[in-house]
Structure formats: structure tokens, C-alpha cells
Amino acid sequence: MTRDDAVDGSSPEDGRGGGADSGQSGEGPTDRTVDLSVPDMDCASCASKVERAVSGVPGVTGVDPRPTTGDLTVATDGTVDRKSVVSAVEGAGYEVADGLESVTLSVPEMDCASCAGKVSGALERVEGVRDLDAYPTSGTVRLRFDPDATTLAAVVSAVEGVGYEVVGTSLDGGDGGVDGSGGDSVWRSRRAYATYLAAALTAVGLVLANPLAPAGAGPAVDLFGRVVRVGDLAYLGAVAVGGVAVFRDGYYSLRQRSLDIDLLMSVAILGAVAAGIGFDEPLYFEAATLTTLFSLSELLEAAAMDRARDSLRELMELSPSEATVLRDGEEVVVPADAVEVGETVVVRPGERIPRDGTVTDGTSAVNQAPVTGESVPVDKAPGDEVFAGTIVEGGYLEVEVTTEAGEDTLSRVVDMVEAAQGERSEREQFVERFAGYYTPVVVGFALVVALGPPLAVGAAWDTYVLYGLTLLVLACPCAFVISTPVTVVSGITAAARNGVLIKGGTHLEAMGDVDAVAFDKTGTLTKGELTVTDVIPLGDNSEADVLRCARGLELRSEHPIGDAIVEHAEAEGVDDRAVDDFEAVAGKGVSATLDGTPHYAGKPGLFADLGFDLSHVHAATDGGVVTRTSRAICERNNCLDLLSDTVPELQAEGKTVVLVGTEDDLEGVIAVADEVRPEARRTVERLREAGVRTAMLTGDNERTARAVGREVGVDEVRAELLPDEKVAAVEELLDEHDGVAMVGDGVNDAPALATATVGIAMGAAGTDTALETADVALLADDLSTLPYLRTLAERANAVIRQNVWTSLAAKAALAAAVPFGLVPIWFAVLAGDAGMTVGVTANASRLARVSPDDPGADGTDAAGTAGRDAEAKAEAASDGEGEPPSTPPAQSAQ
């Protein structure tokens, strides 16, 4: 039975789907575990296949595949050898990367595409290095290496051998993550001070040897038999001081055979100096200007990238570094990573919870916004789950830790956000392919411009060599290469701070193009939990009387409907009744003796079999006066026609009907339903206003599905669907639309989620399966973040287009204007390189300002919730199909 089956319009019976004994887990003692790396196991289907294969090995007691990391942990009873497990994995078609170690390097100076290319090139030549990914947007490198073929020291040495310092790794005590330095450190670095000195020397040169002054003007000295202007010496000093880092990086680029900005700028600067020394062409000013402005542009780029990294750094800093643990009855402060599973941590007001766990003592409101994006603190009491990084607002909590260090929800979110940078979108791949052609073409054009006119028509060498050097400056595609990844990182981290986990740039871009959204019903549009919605007392009974009897009857039932009735009755504070002789009436309901009198609870057919006339039942009165509900429904004022009116009307609203009574008297009617989420209707409305078509795909029965569909306002309802039929429905939507998002619970809807353009899992915080299988996970159980997600994705796509085409157009325009003498070399550096890089980064950072509170970005707007109920009722009243009655068919339990 599916989750949807539990909330359909059929009547209850004990053992009704889920009453079977769960039995024992059958797991024997776990004496050892086998850890394997399976890099090709990178999807939910792969993980399932591997899990089935390994589970069949005798002696295996548990299998934990993690497709997001490619890791496999196998628990055994001690009788299984590693070889048997490896054989099972390989038998399923997956290669085991046996013995490889994973490491993350923190390389904060690697802050551009060309830097990442040099680092990757160096590491690729290290024997034993596998699965290499360099992320300039976070300044990290992730790789795996064979410890029998190389060492961590050799890996670090390879990176530092191309000029980039490794400040920490995940294997030597550091986290290997985003560098913790702030943007201000860029301006106090050694390169910054060298740039300041180069700028000062360039200024001195401008005073003593201004390029606008007549040739030879200014003080001069005799140097090795040659008259040299003092201002030119100042220019050369600027090149010597500020060019050290430029020439060093250019040297490493040459060794890597990388035609990047460092090599191009080195050639341009040295070319200008050589023209002055060897050919007596006065290009010292240009060389000094190139050196100073390029060094400045590198500092600006580093500072801009550091700002882009801030959002991810903020995520990483949410988890506290220390925790207060109860050990032997005393509080001990220890590193948060040193807390063991099962230990109890103490969290006081204002402190952050160090690890995921369960509250064992105390109550407090907890601000979960850092993890789930919920704006309102959530009350927590013993038994409730809490997440690492969330803040205790005003109480004292003792929390039993339930996750290992690095395995809590916040850590998984950070890991996945970092890993998402490795997902190269189609636009990013296009830009990288284009850049491979752009640079050689512009370099070739620079050579033609520099050599062609002087050789062909005797034009001035200094003029056209300068034009050629200017084109070399414009030949680097850094600005538009980085335009897509920096936007993706900004969008993904902004979403993560608001409780939406996007698994890569591909999914962010795809979400922006979605024009149809399909929803599962149970647990997505509805809460996924049965609740009592209506209680109708009959005869001389009150609501409390009906609930008292129903609670006694359902107390021993294991069915979700019975649980909902018991929970509601206890919330209403009804008295207990003595219960004896509980029995399930097969296919119809339950019976028990309450205070010595036999009672029944079940579907209408059960009471029809007992001889009741369900078409003529007396309604409850108040002081002899028939209630308004009864008068509206029953033409005879003090009677209800349960069979023809009340029960069908309740079921038409998607509710399950339970009758309660004795052998002689029908005491009342209880309606139970899976309530629609309060934000569902507004979410659907906002999507429709954005031009998105909505559909509901459910395995529930047609009647219940139609009722929920009308209430939330979806455009299309498809009911009684098996998993493969949901997949077919998504495929049909894909045939009609450019992009389709499927929103479900991440488990039962996995095939449909995988088929859709974007699969979105609801309520994924703390749920491994949802985090690993979905393309996007809504960490809070809140549909209202869905319109925000689409708005963010749309704006991200717009920013990417702006960044790519603006930077490309600017470079093309500048390059075309160079041969006409319209672009001085200093302007090419500032506008074409530094300016565009800073511009695209600043443009991308605007995504951080997109908020779920913005009109149009979430399921709410400035009008608030005040008129929504009236609006919903007005639409329901005007609905042609299944039009609800003008007066409610039952008295609400609320």
C-alpha cells in the first residue's frame, strides 16, 4: 500500500495497510566494516544496483552506498572478506578504486580559470592522481590519489611548483575548504605592496618622462655609454618591482604550455621593454602601465572572488568549533568534531547546536533558518530532531548526538554546495569551448597587426607593436570564462542560505527554463499526516462523547486513521474509557467493549450490516434546538441522510469517514483527511502568475485527488498512477513543454524525479535519500520556497547571459578598435581585463539579494494571508466540477 492509499476516501478497517508486524531487522553483530570507493556509482539507480548486489553476499549485515561521494560502507558479521565484497560490486558492473585516498586542498590564490588550468595541468602529471576537480570559485582542489604511487607531499609540491601556495588539506588537520581569510587581506599582501610601489614609480616616471612631452624631454643620465632618461628608469623600476609575480606566473604558464593571461601579459610587458632597449622605441611607459594596472587588476579580481566566496564561507562557519558535552555528570568543553555519537551536548540560549541530534531534555525555540531557511523559530521539546548550526533562542537543551562528525545535515549541504561547482552547465561548457578558439585567434590577429603594416607599407613600428601588445592584453578570455561559474556559485550559495539545496549549475539553469511543474500529492501538496477535520455528534451525544468512544476503540489499532483519531482526542483532553475485547472486523473496522457496552467504529457498511437506517439519523441538538449544520443539510431538520448526503459530501472533499456507535445507537461521524499544506494554494497561484503550468500526479483515488486538486488550484489532475505511469505522465509533459520540474518526497517518486528536467525533493533536511537523489532539495518542509527557487533560477540565467555576452561584446569591440588607435593599452587592461572581471563578479553577487520575502519570489506577497481564505472559497464556490455545497455538510471539529 502506498502512502496515498492510507488517505483515500475508503473506509477504515484494522490492519488496513500497515498493520502487519514489522518483525526484527535480522541484523547480526557487526564485527567489522568494509569501506570501498566506487567512483562510477554516481546516481540513485547505481547505488540501488550496488546495494542489491552486495546485500546478497552471505555475512553482509548492512550496506550504505553514497552516490554523492562514490563511497560504499559495508557492515559484516566478521565472516566476509574484502575480496568477496569487491567481487560483488564488480559483478554489478562498477569498478572499485581500491586503496585511493581522497583529499581536498585549499589553494586560495587559485582564483581564476587560467589558475585552475595550471594547477590541474600540474596535478595531472603526478602519477597516481585520479578524479581531479579544481574549483577557482572556492579556491579548492578535490582529488583522489593512490598512496602506493605518490604521497600527499608530492601532490602539494606539484601545486606549489606552479606558483600556488597550499594553505591546508583535509588530511593534515585542516578542512581543505574555503580559505578563511577575508577580502581585506588581499590589499595587505606582498603583491599588493609591490603594486603600490610600482604605481609610485610609474607616477614618478610620468612626472620626469611624460609620454605627452617632446621626445627626450626630462632629466637624463649616462648609463653604460647610453643616455637614459631618469623617468624611463623609474618606469623600468616599476616593471621590475611589480612584474615579479607576473613573470613568475608567466613562466609557470609557459612550462605548462598554457596560453593564458599570465603568459600573454608577460609577453606584452617584455615586448614593450625589448622595443625600448633593442629597437630604441619609447615604450617604457606602456610597459610600466601594463605591469602596474595588471597587478592592480589581479588584486581586484582576487578581492572580487573573495567576496563571491563569502557566501560559502558563511555556510561553513555556521557550525560551532566547540561543544559542551556531559561526561560523567560534568560539563566538558571539547572540539565539536571530538563529540561521539550517543553523547549528550548542552546548548544554552544564543549558542549553536554543534551536531545533528535528538532533544533529550529541555525546551526552547530553535532558529533553523541557517539550515532550512524557515523564518520563524521552531519550538523543540524532548524527542524532537535538531540540526547542527541552528541557534537555541531562549531555553536550555540537552541533545543526544546522532551523527558522526562531517555527516550532519549542515556538513552534507556544504559538501554538496562545493561539489556542485564541478557540475559544468551547458553554457559554461560552450564558453570554455569558445575560449579555446578565441585566444589563438586574437593572438594571431595581434601578430598581424604588430608586423603587417610596418612590413607591408612601412608604418611606424612603435605604433603597431603597441597595438599588437594591446591586443595580447585582450586575448585572455578570463572575464567571460569565469562569468558562468561565479554566477552559479553565487546562486547556489544564496539558495542554500534560504533552505534550497541545488546540486549544480546545470540544475540551476534548467530550473530557470521550467514552464511546467508536476506535484506529488501526499507529503508534497498535503502534509502527509492524517488529521481529524470534522466531528458530527448524533442523538444526545456531544463531540467529546464521540471522541471519547472513538479513542477507546482506536487506541489499540495500528492504522494511521486510528492514530489520527487518538491523537485528536487526546489533544481535546477527553476522558479515558475502560477498553476490553478489542477486535478487528475484517474489511470493515474495529469493535471493543467500552465500560461494559459493545462499541464499533468503521465504514458505513459496518453499521448497515448492524441494521441501521443510515438515511434517517437524528442529529445532535443544543438545548432541544437543532444545530445550524443539521438544519442546512437535512430537510427534516432533526435528521441526517448519512448514506446519500453527509458521507458522500465529506468524501467528495477527499476525507475518509468513520462512523462510531453501539449495536443500538449511532453516536457520531468523524472525518479524517491528509490536510493540504496552507502554503500550497498560494504557491500554485504564484507559479501560474509566472506562466508555469501545474499538474498533480498521484497514486490516490480519483475522488480524493480531484478534491485536493480543486483546493490547491492545479491545472491538471492525474490520479491512481503507478510509479511507471507517473514517469509516463512526466514524459508527456516533457513533450508539451520546454522544461518540467517534478516535486515529490524523493523516495516513492524517485523514477518520476529522475525523468523530469529537474527533480525536487520536499523536506530533505536530515533525509539522506532525498539529499542524494534529487537535483534540488527543499530542506524545509515548505512549498513556498518553490516560486523563490524559480525566480532565483530565472535571474541567474539572465545574469549569466548578461555576463557572457557583455564581456564578449566588450572584448570584441575593444579588439576591433585597437588597430584604429582608439584603445590605449592602459584602458585595455582596466576595461578589458580587470574591469570586466570585477563587473561580472559584482553582477553575479546580485543574486545574493534575491530573497524569499521579495514579491514574486515566494508563496506570499504584500497582501499577506488576510484575504486568502475568502479568495479560496470564492474560487471553490465558482468551480463547475464537484461544486461544494453552499453550506458545509458537517460541523467542523475546529
Condensed to tens digits (0 to 9), the pLDDT of residues 55-75 reads 889 888 888 887 766 778 888
Cβ-Cβ contacts under 8 Å for 725 (sequence gap 6 or more): none
Q: Is the pLDDT of residue 3 over 60?
A: no
Cβ-Cβ contacts under 8 Å for 359 (sequence gap 6 or more): 380, 381, 382, 383, 384, 385, 386, 397, 398, 399, 400
Q: Is the pLDDT of residue 797 over 80?
A: yes
Please classify residue 881 by burial: count the beta carbons closer than 10 Å to its beta carbon, then call 0-12 exposed, 13-18 middle and 19+ buried.
Answer: exposed
pLDDT tier for residue 509 given thresholds of 50, 70 and 90? confident
Question: Rounded to whole angstroms, how far apart are CA atoms 630 and 617?
Answer: 11
User: What is the DSSP code (8-state) at residue 819?
Assistant: G
Please report, as a single letter, which amino acid is at residue 118. K
Question: Rounded to whole angstroms, how far apart are CA atoms 501 and 467?
Answer: 48
Contact between residue 584 and residue 603 where contact means Cβ atoms under 8 Å apart:
no
Residue-level pLDDT at 272: 79
Residue-level pLDDT at 773: 62
Residue-level pLDDT at 293: 79
Question: Rounded to whole angstroms, how far apart are CA atoms 795 and 510?
Answer: 12
Contact between residue 589 and residue 603 where contact means Cβ atoms under 8 Å apart:
yes
Residue-level pLDDT at 12: 36
Please report, as a single letter, which amino acid is at residue 210. N
User: What is the DSSP code (8-state) at residue 352?
Assistant: B
Identify the CA nearest to 881 among candidates 702, 663, 697, 693: 702
Condensed to tens digits (0 to 9), the pLDDT of residues 179-228 reads 544 445 678 888 889 999 999 999 999 888 887 777 667 788 887 777 78
Angle between helices 560-571 and 543-554 (to 10 degrees): 140
Comparing 175-179, 390-394, 452-456, 838-842, the range with the smallest average pLDDT is: 175-179
Pick the catalytic residue: 14, 520, 545, 858? 520
Contact between residue 855 and residue 861 where contact means Cβ atoms under 8 Å apart:
yes
pLDDT tier for residue 379 given thresholds of 50, 70 and 90? confident
Condensed to tens digits (0 to 9), the pLDDT of residues 239-249 reads 999 999 889 88
Taking the complete model, does pTM exceed 0.85, yes or no?
A: no
Question: Rounded to whole angstroms, how far apart are CA atoms 254 and 261?
Answer: 11
Q: Is the pLDDT of residue 260 over 80?
A: no
User: What is the DSSP code (8-state) at residue 234?
Assistant: H
Contact between residue 36 and residue 74 where contact means Cβ atoms under 8 Å apart:
yes
Identify the CA nearest to 261 among candidates 443, 427, 122: 443
Q: Is 40 annotated in the active site? A: no
Condensed to tens digits (0 to 9), the pLDDT of residues 529-548 reads 788 888 888 878 888 888 88
Condensed to tens digits (0 to 9), the pLDDT of residues 592-617 reads 888 888 888 888 777 777 777 665 55
Please classify residue 26 by burial: count the beta carbons closer than 10 Å to its beta carbon, then call 0-12 exposed, 13-18 middle and 19+ buried.
Answer: exposed
Residue-level pLDDT at 837: 74
Find which of 28-42, 471-485, 682-696 is predicted with most confidence, using mean pLDDT: 682-696
Please classify residue 11 by burial: count the beta carbons closer than 10 Å to its beta carbon, then call 0-12 exposed, 13-18 middle and 19+ buried.
Answer: buried
Q: Is the pLDDT of residue 894 over 70?
A: no
Contact between residue 672 and residue 532 where contact means Cβ atoms under 8 Å apart:
yes
**CA 860 → CA 468, 715, 796, 855, distances in Å?**
57, 20, 21, 7
Q: How many CB atoms sit inside 10 A of residue 67's CB?
A: 20
Residue-level pLDDT at 174: 52
**CA 328 → CA 324, 335, 356, distances in Å?**
13, 18, 22
Condensed to tens digits (0 to 9), the pLDDT of residues 856-874 reads 554 444 333 333 333 433 3
> In this structure, is the dihedral angle defined by the CA atoms of residues 869, 870, 875 and 878, taken in order, positive or negative?
positive
Q: Is the pLDDT of residue 460 over 80?
A: yes
The number of helices, as runs of H, and strands, as runs of E, in the chain is 28, 35
**CA 22 → CA 19, 25, 26, 124, distances in Å?**
9, 8, 11, 52
